[in-house]
Amino acid sequence: MPSQSGAAAREPIDLDHLRKMTLSDPALEREVLRLFVEQTANLMRTLASLPENAAALAHTLKGSARAIGAFRVADAAAALEVALRTEGGAREAFTRLEAEVGQARQAANALLAQSEP
């Protein structure tokens, strides 16, 4: 089941959701985006080898993505989690996740660049 529907689901990051979750606080929004960029870099580097704990890492990524409104990342992480638990299609699911994370990171970095004082 998708995390979000409508136009927001087509964007790498749902800005309305992000602002709601950060109480429209620009400093908090920047901090959350920075953390997401850092965390995804670390998680994706670790997930690339599909380690034994990959399903748990995908679950962590899913939650982080939903928290900032990166619903396409969350959906791709959920698909990887399922693929890992059912032992089918994990490499393809990781490839999809990698693409979605790349787009979300690019969007987050663009937002961070726009919001720097």
Kindly state whether residue 8 falls inside one of the protein's structural domains. no
Kindly state whether residue 76 falls inside one of the protein's structural domains. yes
Distance CA 14, CA 16 (A): 6
Domain of 92 in residue numbering reads as 23-115
- Report percent pLDDT > 90 for the chain: 87
pLDDT (tens digit, 9 = 90+) per residue, 4-53? 555 556 899 999 999 999 999 999 999 999 999 999 999 999 999 999 99
In 3-state terms the chain splits into helix, strand, coil percentages (rounded to 5) of: 75, 0, 25
Q: Considering the entire predicted model, what is its pTM?
A: 0.90
Query: Which token pair is 62?
Result: 């899913």
The CATH number of whichever domain residue 105 belongs to comes to 1.20.120.160
pLDDT above 90 for 95: yes
Q: What is the mean pLDDT of the chain?
A: 92
Query: What per-residue confidence (pLDDT) applies to 1?
Result: 42
pLDDT (tens digit, 9 = 90+) per residue, 58-71? 999 999 999 999 99
